[in-house]
Structure 1
């Protein structure tokens, strides 16, 4: 069966759906797929089209919404999947979380957040900056359509892992740069980026090769590397392209707060990449927290601390998106942090191989 898509000709009126009843008031807004209920109880709009690049597949997002009606617009996590820019899809938070009884998407929703998890064009479909343009189209979509869904487009945190972490960092650092917006999706202003969670993402394509571990699984400078395929040329032969695709190039004093997390034994993306980005952000006077996880490989492979790392990132998001007091002396709402679940050990599925 073909995946449902929702093509959106015009933004819906600025109304907040009654999510407590399990449906929108009346039929779903024009162009939206029928809402579903996720296994964790969240409201789910699956396969909403946020852009349709000419000559390419439609770009879809899944929108995870709180089950109960909120008293005020809810902040949003815009999630970008990993996969070396070559593979991956919006339905997966990362292999380390496949065995969780409750998905990370549902946990974020239970904490009072909405989640927009997006697909973007892969390097086999289009080279950089297509991926950046797709992410920016998603931010504009949130600004255009968020009010009608009860979303707060002024409180959006980007969260990505691996290649998605790279794109999250790029999107956060290039906000307000109209020359980098591209022509994909609807025009208009973008949602406001309140912060970035970057899990083990590349930061500077030009330095990855020399920073790599002796046991690295790939060579970033090779003609067929993920990085070379992303920019459409071998990294050493295209330094300007490599720089344009590197988050460190765009660091400035007005960057949003960053949380960087990286394993010290990462054989795919050296942890020196996150250290380099953290140094650049600090030198520019930006707020950045760097979490180095001793002995962890890429994707948190073999690590038992996924709960801790997820919880730290969730707390970071909630701190950034906590609403300001409505009046002097008011006490802001206390963020709700759900308990993270233990892995589902009722079955013994085949292990998921590490993704390059």
Structure 2
């Protein structure tokens, strides 16, 4: 079992304190994975890696491989709209850069690992900073314009992405473009490990296909792990350990 420290890393004015859980292995200068949870930017918890997968199967598995893991909160869309969440990720990274060495952690060039909405934040952060060793993107929305074409049965202004950016992508094109990793790919992007289930009905598989294609076009190092029959949050995947192992292997290469 990894040791866990609960730390307040930021206090945005007018909002609740933001916290992170720092899990550390028994090693000095452990490389760092910064984790961002899913939940459609509407909900979710830093304490849950993926619904249905225990902490022992997720956080502890990564720590057992020799990494420290900082699982970080960010303001949800009911609290603040995009790009406030990117400011929160930056605040977490700033705290870790300043203080993580006190806990035996090397936070100079972390890997960002996000799931679903958190993967979008991880990808956007990796694409706008030059101190990120790599990004693990698990089934994250990548293009808010094409995501808006998905028939969810909701009014366009009620979708999770509309609540995040302030309204439908067509009505807020600048925000939608800035919040879409596939539209932000550029030369010099960090390495990416992208994994997505081909049967994902919540965030279609084509979202990650578009991100992988955009990154490949600009010359980025991209691993694309298509998971046959996998649903969102790895529903219907029998052995998620293999998915963790492939992502951990990427983290090891990125931080070597």
| TM-score above 0.5 | yes
Cα contact 1:261–1:293 (8 A) shared by 2: yes
Q: Which residue of 2 aligns with 1:298?
A: 232
Residue 132 of structure 2 is aligned to residue 193 of structure 1: yes
Match runs of 1:1-356 below 5 Å = 40=1, 42-46=2-6, 48-66=7-25, 68=26, 70=27, 72-98=28-54, 102-176=56-130, 192-210=131-149, 212=150, 218=152, 222-322=156-256
Q: Between Structure 1 and Structure 2, which shows a larger proportion of strand residues?
A: 2
Paired positions, count: 256
- What is the distance in 2 between the residues matched to 1:81 and 1:221? 25
- What is the distance in 1 between the residues matched to 2:40 and 2:236? 19
Structure 1 regions of 5+ residues with no counterpart? 1-39, 177-191, 323-356
Q: Between Structure 1 and Structure 2, which shows a larger proportion of helix residues?
A: 2
Q: Tell me the alpha carbon deviations over residues 11-69 of structure 1, each in whole angstroms, 9 at most, x when there is no partner.
A: xxxxxxxxxxxxxxxxxxxxxxxxxxxxx2x22102x0111000000000000011x3x
Cα contact 1:146–1:153 (8 A) shared by 2: yes
Cα contact 2:148–2:156 (8 A) shared by 1: no
Could you list the runs of 4 or more consecutive aligned residues of structure 1 that deviate by over 6 angstroms after TM superposition?
none
- What is the distance in 2 between the residues matched to 1:276 and 1:152? 32
- What is the distance in 2 between the residues matched to 1:81 and 1:237? 27
CA root-mean-square deviation: 1.5
Q: Which residue of 2 aligns with 1:27?
A: none
- What is the distance in 1 between the residues matched to 2:230 and 2:241? 14
* SS of residue matched to 2:141: coil
- What is the distance in 2 between the residues matched to 1:226 and 1:209? 10
Structure 2 regions of 5+ residues with no counterpart? none
* SS of residue matched to 1:96: coil
- What is the distance in 2 between the residues matched to 1:221 and 1:278? 29
* SS of residue matched to 1:146: helix
* SS of residue matched to 2:157: coil
- What is the distance in 2 between the residues matched to 1:64 and 1:269? 29
